[in-house]
Amino acid sequence: MTVGRARARLIDRAPERGARDRAGLAPAQPEIAQHLVGEALGVARHPPPFQEPFKPQARRRHQRQQPGAVLASATFARTWLIPVLSRFGVDHPDIDVSLQMVGPRGSLGYEGQSDLTFSYNRLLSPDPWHGSVSLGDVEIGPVLAPTYRHRLADGVLSFQTRIDRRNDEAMWQAWSLRTGIAIEARKNQVFDHSYLAFQAARSGMGAAMAPRFLISGMIETGELIAPAGFLTFPGGLYVRPTPRANQQPNPDAMILLDWLKRNATV
């Protein structure tokens, strides 16, 4: 309250005091006026504290350190990585992470820079990555809706439509070579993202090749089934430091990598 407002309140109450005096009521106490003026002067002399300013050392740190750049596919990011990074943010609220998406060609077609790169498609990239860390096993197999017509007999899995992610068509042949189960499909349909292929399979549009950990929720609810089972790649989920040329690894990215090893295995 300001001094001007305190005076306004006193002036406004003057007619009220006269009316009360004429009515025989108790007169206003002078202590009230003194309190109002004192309150106003106190506020003017001691204004309320402002919010604590941003700490200079924190500002300098963020100006110096680039966010840790993480490279992953859109399906992997939306299904597995983003929930994991959310938990990491709770444990390390001072570290920023930049999430970068790869297109249909995967990390091979990415021309930017990243500090950590994830890989899980061991059907197309079966060899271990040099310098990578394993976050767990990967299981891959054909999945489809339980009501979708299919047949598994004499080592042949047959159905109407094969659903592919663009540029990943070779997964079917690689899976057949490793399992000995042939695939027979009358036609195929292509999507640019794996999660679209998984949703199409869930909706009864055909069969899709999928890593189990990315569709585990739909497997658990019975929306998808794996009639021929899953092929297991032990330790097949990789994350690898990919520092920029002639530079030391990003310290924040190394903290994230260490946290992943302890808290984010599949």
Residue bearing the bigger pLDDT, 5 or 237:
237
Q: Is the pLDDT of residue 181 over 60?
A: yes
Q: How many Cβ atoms are within 10 Å of 53's Cβ, its own excluded?
A: 7
How far is Cα 168 from Cα 28, in angstroms, rounded to an integer?
A: 87
Q: Is the pLDDT of residue 7 over 90?
A: no
For the chain, strand residue ranges (E) read: 68-73, 97-102, 116-119, 133-134, 138-143, 150-153, 156-165, 182-191, 207-211, 231-233, 238-241
Looking at residue 38, what is its pLDDT?
A: 45
Pair 205, 161: CB distance under 8 Å: yes
Pair 102, 131: CB distance under 8 Å: no
Q: Which two tokens stand for residue 181?
A: 């189960």
How far is Cα 226 from Cα 92, in angstroms, rounded to an integer?
A: 38
How far is Cα 156 from Cα 126, in angstroms, rounded to an integer?
A: 24
Q: How confident is the model over 24-44, as pLDDT tens digits?
A: 434 444 444 444 434 444 444
Looking at residue 152, what is its pLDDT?
A: 98
pLDDT grade, residue 18 (50/70/90)? very low
How far is Cα 184 from Cα 261, in angstroms, rounded to an integer?
A: 40
Q: Is the pLDDT of residue 174 over 70?
A: yes
Residue bearing the bigger pLDDT, 100 or 243:
100
Name the CATH superfamily, with its identifier, for domain 66-135+236-263: Periplasmic binding protein-like II (3.40.190.10)
For 97-137, strand residue ranges (E) read: 97-102, 116-119, 133-134
Q: Which two tokens stand for residue 85?
A: 């990074």
Fold for domain 139-233? D-Maltodextrin-Binding Protein; domain 2 (3.40.190)
Looking at residue 103, what is its pLDDT?
A: 62
User: What is the C-alpha R_g of the chain?
Assistant: 33
pLDDT grade, residue 180 (50/70/90)? very high
Q: What does the DSSP 8-state code read for residue 214?
A: G
Q: How confident is the model over 115-169, as pLDDT tens digits?
A: 999 999 999 999 888 889 999 999 999 999 999 999 999 999 999 999 999 999 9
Q: How confident is the model over 55-112, as pLDDT tens digits?
A: 434 433 444 468 899 999 999 999 999 999 999 999 999 999 999 987 655 555 455 6
Least confident of 4-8, 14-18, 27-31, 229-233: 4-8
Q: Which of 162, 150, 143 is nearest to 213 (CA)?
A: 143
Task: Specify the pTM.
Answer: 0.72
**Domain ranges (residues) in the chain:** 3-45, 66-135+236-263, 139-233
Looking at residue 243, what is its pLDDT?
A: 81
pLDDT grade, residue 245 (50/70/90)? confident
By the 10 Å C-beta count (0-12 exposed, 13-18 middle, 19+ buried), 212 is classed as buried
Helix, strand or coil for residue 191?
strand
Question: How wide is the angle at C-alpha 150 spanned by C-alphas 145 and 152, nearest 5°?
Answer: 120
Looking at residue 118, what is its pLDDT?
A: 93
Fold match, 66-135+236-263 / 139-233: yes
Q: Which two tokens stand for residue 260?
A: 């992943």
Rounded mean pLDDT, 244-256 = 89
Q: Report in angstroms the alpha-carbon separations of 109 from 22, 104, 220.
A: 92, 8, 34
Helix, strand or coil for residue 101?
strand
Q: Which two tokens stand for residue 26?
A: 């108790």
